[in-house]
Amino acid sequence: MAAKIIDGEAVASRIREEIKATVAEMVANNQSPPGLATVLVGENPASQQYVRMKQNRCKKVGIQSFGYNLPAETSQEEVEKLVSELGSDPKVHGILVQLPLPDHLDEEAVLNTIPLHKDIDGFHPVNIGRLTMKGRKPLFIPCTPAGVIRLLEEVGAEFDGAEAVVLGRSNIVGMPTALLLIHKNATVTICHSRTKDLPGVCRKADILVAAVGRPQMVKADWVKPGAFVIDVGSNRVDAPDTEKGYRWVGDVDFDDVKEVAGALSPSPGGVGPMTIAGLLQNTLRAAQIADEMK
């Protein structure tokens, strides 16, 4: 039987409408609108595109967006100075430093400069630290992992005691997704480049999350029949027969896997819109926290 295709755009659109209504209510009550500052260093085309999309979505729901595009050669000191200034700017409730940063910059030191209550990416060591612990609550949960869990919930995935396999151990997706799945009582395996018998490990999964950045790597025979599969990958591949000469594909071979999986979140059209919706939710939350701190 063909898999149920999970429409991330439809779920994200519902979330955006809720946020838009809440922001409109805040403004009607004379509260200042939530504000998000984006910091982009360098000219990575994919990062430029992601940041543009985040800014556009902010504007559409009434969140103020403040964009800072810095040249690739900007020094560590200059980036940290900007982030510190944004940290004390009352119009800015959330700060997003787009990753990856150019190689000469110390990512950890930059992220440490973001005040905890403005860490809408959830990448601050204290927020990640809390995510690793039982009974602790991070102020913000990273947006893509939160989107993965929300999509699984939307299609009625059973987490309790499920075998979950996460392909990839990145700080942005793989590791926090695995932590969230543990909090939901799944038994979690994290796979990476040294994992032996990757297809065999994946085949045990009731829930399979692919976030490795390898175009269409996950094939039908890697997937347990009926499994919930979430494709987080976003890979640009050559497509000479198209106008642009390229197209975007996920880490999952969609046409192959849809015949086996129970539910499948495609890429594009699955987790991508959920990441941005999560960012808007976190920015709204940051504005509410700032209001409570007054």
**Catalytic (active-site) positions:** 54, 98, 121
Q: Which of 96, 120, 157, 229 binds ligand GUN (CB under 6 A)?
A: 96
Q: How far is the CB of 104 from ligand GUN (least distance, A)?
A: 18
- Toward ligand GUN, which CB reaches closer, 180 or 201? 180
Q: How far is the CB of 259 from ligand GUN (least distance, A)?
A: 30
* Subset of residues 148 to 177 that bind ligand GUN, contact rule: CB under 6 A: 172
- Toward ligand GUN, which CB reaches closer, 22 or 47? 47
* Bond into 268 cis (ω within 30): yes
Q: Which of 11, 41, 97, 157 binds ligand GUN (CB under 6 A)?
A: 97
Per rule CB under 6 A, is residue 98 in the interface with ligand GUN? yes
Stretch that binds ligand GUN, among 2-10, 29-37, 92-100, 177-185 (CB under 6 A): 92-100
Pairing status of strand 163-167 against strand 207-210? parallel
Structure tokens, 3: 């898999």
Per rule CB under 6 A, is residue 207 in the interface with ligand GUN? no
Measured CA to CA, the distance from residue 227 to residue 232 in angstroms comes to 16
C-beta neighbour count of 82 within 10 angstroms: 20
Residue 203 and residue 223 in contact, taking contact as beta carbons nearer than 8 Å: yes
- Toward ligand GUN, which CB reaches closer, 19 or 276? 276
Residue 174 and residue 211 in contact, taking contact as beta carbons nearer than 8 Å: yes
**Cα dist from 229 to 176, 188, 189, 218, 276, whole Å:** 17, 14, 15, 10, 20
Measured CA to CA, the distance from residue 170 to residue 145 in angstroms comes to 11
The alpha carbon torsion through 181, 183, 184, 190 (nearest 10 deg) reads 20
Measured CA to CA, the distance from residue 154 to residue 128 in angstroms comes to 25
Closest residue to bound ligand GUN by CB? 99
**Residue type (1 letter), 61:** V
Per rule CB under 6 A, is residue 144 in the interface with ligand GUN? yes
Q: Which of 5, 99, 116, 220 binds ligand GUN (CB under 6 A)?
A: 99
Q: How far is the CB of 38 from ligand GUN (least distance, A)?
A: 8
Per rule CB under 6 A, is residue 276 in the interface with ligand GUN? no
Measured CA to CA, the distance from residue 158 to residue 177 in angstroms comes to 16
- Toward ligand GUN, which CB reaches closer, 82 or 257? 82
Per rule CB under 6 A, is residue 232 in the interface with ligand GUN? no
* 3-class SS shares of the chain: helix, strand, coil, % to 5: 40, 15, 40
Orientation of helix 271-293 relative to helix 8-28, angle to 10°: 20
Q: How far is the CB of 227 from ligand GUN (least distance, A)?
A: 25
Per rule CB under 6 A, is residue 121 in the interface with ligand GUN? yes
Measured at the CA of 201, the angle between CA 261 and CA 149, to 5 degrees, comes to: 55
- Toward ligand GUN, which CB reaches closer, 95 or 205? 95
Q: How far is the CB of 140 from ligand GUN (least distance, A)?
A: 11
Stretch that binds ligand GUN, among 26-34, 67-75, 91-99, 177-185 (CB under 6 A): 91-99
Residue 190 and residue 169 in contact, taking contact as beta carbons nearer than 8 Å: yes
* Subset of residues 256 to 275 that bind ligand GUN, contact rule: CB under 6 A: 275
Residues interacting with ligand GUN, by CB under 6 A?
96-99, 121, 143-144, 172, 275
